[in-house]
């Protein structure tokens, strides 16, 4: 469900009674959608609105009575800031320490002191561009979760890469030079990676996470990626926190 209401209609009146509170808002929204679909309900500090985050990751707004939806971007005109985008960035963050990095292909460049986590499909064209660009990244450890969601044979290629003797070299050999690893089967985390990606609502590749847990979606030129990595390293939580 890409949009809950038409883009031209900001308000859609629901046939809900006049009541307030989180429980009532949940009921009104779920009844309107036709299923349990809410991840969280949070009262905002602006306009008396409530932020409703759906299980799909979509964000909509409603009033205290749960009598309408606002489906779109909320902008603070004084600050000239997209409030919705700010909140989405916060909600999309992860704790890097909580990710099962042993399920990822590990590539170390230089001293490897910086961290970059990616979810990639072996048949993803933009992922191939990223892997080529990433060869020039300095002092970074890249954890690549093989995430086969694009083509029927993506899973088989992912398994072959994981089961190879040198996963990092085999991954790069395929993504950069088109050297396909021999088909192989071994104990592998591919299904777990897909489950993890779905839990994180990753719908496209490449999707990247930086040291501070912030998410980047899609291909990014190396210069901008370097800038983002550097900033995230400054913002990452101190060890033990």
Asked if residue 173 and residue 85 are part of one domain, the reply reads no
Condensed to tens digits (0 to 9), the pLDDT of residues 173-215 reads 999 999 988 888 899 999 999 999 999 989 999 999 999 999 9
* 87 belongs to a structural domain: yes
* 72-81: Cβ within 8 A, 24+ apart: 72/7, 72/10, 74/46, 74/49, 76/46
pLDDT value of position 88? 82
Q: Which residues face 185 on adjacent strands?
A: none
Of 91, 123, 139, the last residue of a domain is: 91
Asked if residue 138 and residue 109 are part of one domain, the reply reads yes
Cα separation, 58 vs 158, whole angstroms: 30
The pLDDT profile of the chain, 241 residues, written as one tens digit per residue, is 444 433 323 333 333 333 457 888 888 888 888 888 888 898 888 888 988 988 888 888 988 878 888 888 888 898 898 888 888 888 888 999 999 999 999 999 999 999 999 999 999 999 999 999 999 999 999 999 999 999 989 999 999 999 999 999 999 999 999 998 888 889 999 999 999 999 998 999 999 999 999 999 888 888 999 999 999 999 887 765 5
Give how many domains the chain has, as a whole number: 2
Provide the residue range defining the domain that includes 71. Answer: 11-91
pLDDT value of position 4? 40
* 4 belongs to a structural domain: no
Of 64, 91, 118, the last residue of a domain is: 91
Specify the pairing of strand 75-76 against strand 68-70.
unpaired
Asked if residue 76 and residue 31 are part of one domain, the reply reads yes
* 176 belongs to a structural domain: yes
Q: Whole-number mean pLDDT of the chain?
A: 86
Cα separation, 8 vs 78, whole angstroms: 24
Asked if residue 109 and residue 81 are part of one domain, the reply reads no
For residue 128, give the CATH number of its domain: 3.40.30.10
Burial readout 72-108 (b: 16 or more C-beta within 10 A, e: otherwise): eebeeeeeeeebbeebbeeebeeebeebeeebbbebe
pLDDT value of position 12? 37
199 burial (CB, 10 Å; 0-12 / 13-18 / 19+) is exposed
Show the 3-state SS of the chain. Answer: CCCCCCCCCCEEECCCCCCCCHHHHHHHHHHHHCCCCEEEEEECCCCCCEEEEECCCCEEEECCCCCEEECCCCEECCCCEEHHHHHHHHHCCCCHHHCCHHHCEEEEECCCCEEEEEEECCCCHHHHHHHHHHCCCCCEEEEEEECCCCCCCHHHHHHHHHCCCCHHHHHHHHHHHCCCCCCCCCCCCHHHHHHHHHHCCCCCCCEEEECCCCEEECCCCHHHHHHHHHHHHHHCCCCCC
Of 75, 91, 107, the last residue of a domain is: 91
Asked if residue 101 and residue 66 are part of one domain, the reply reads no
CB atoms closer than 10 angstroms to residue 6: 9
């Amino acid at each position: 469900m890409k949009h809950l209401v038409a883009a031209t209609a900001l308000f859609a009146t629901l046939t809900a009674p006049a009541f307030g509170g989180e429980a009532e808002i949940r009921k009104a929204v779920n009844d309107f959608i036709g299923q349990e679909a809410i991840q969280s309900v949070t009262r905002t500090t602006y306009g008396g609105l409530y932020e409703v985050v759906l299980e799909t990751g979509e964000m909509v707004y409603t009033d205290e009575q749960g009598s309408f939806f606002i489906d779109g971007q909320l902008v603070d005109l004084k600050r000239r800031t997209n409030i919705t985008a700010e909140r989405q960035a916060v909600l999309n963050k992860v704790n890097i320490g909580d990710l099962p990095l042993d399920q990822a292909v590990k590539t170390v460049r230089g001293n490897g002191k910086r961290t970059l986590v990616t979810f990639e499909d072996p048949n993803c064209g933009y992922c191939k561009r990223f892997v080529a660009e990433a060869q020039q990244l300095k002092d970074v450890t890249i954890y690549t979760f093989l995430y086969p969601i694009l083509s029927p044979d993506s899973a088989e290629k992912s398994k072959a890469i994981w089961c190879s003797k040198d996963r990092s070299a085999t991954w790069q050999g395929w993504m950069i030079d088109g050297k396909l690893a021999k088909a192989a089967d071994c104990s592998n985390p591919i299904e777990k990676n897909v489950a993890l990606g779905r839990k994180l609502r990753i719908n496209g590749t490449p999707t990247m996470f930086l040291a501070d847990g912030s998410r980047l979606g899609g291909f990014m030129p190396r210069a901008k990626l370097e800038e983002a990595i550097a900033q995230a390293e400054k913002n990452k939580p101190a060890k033990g926190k």
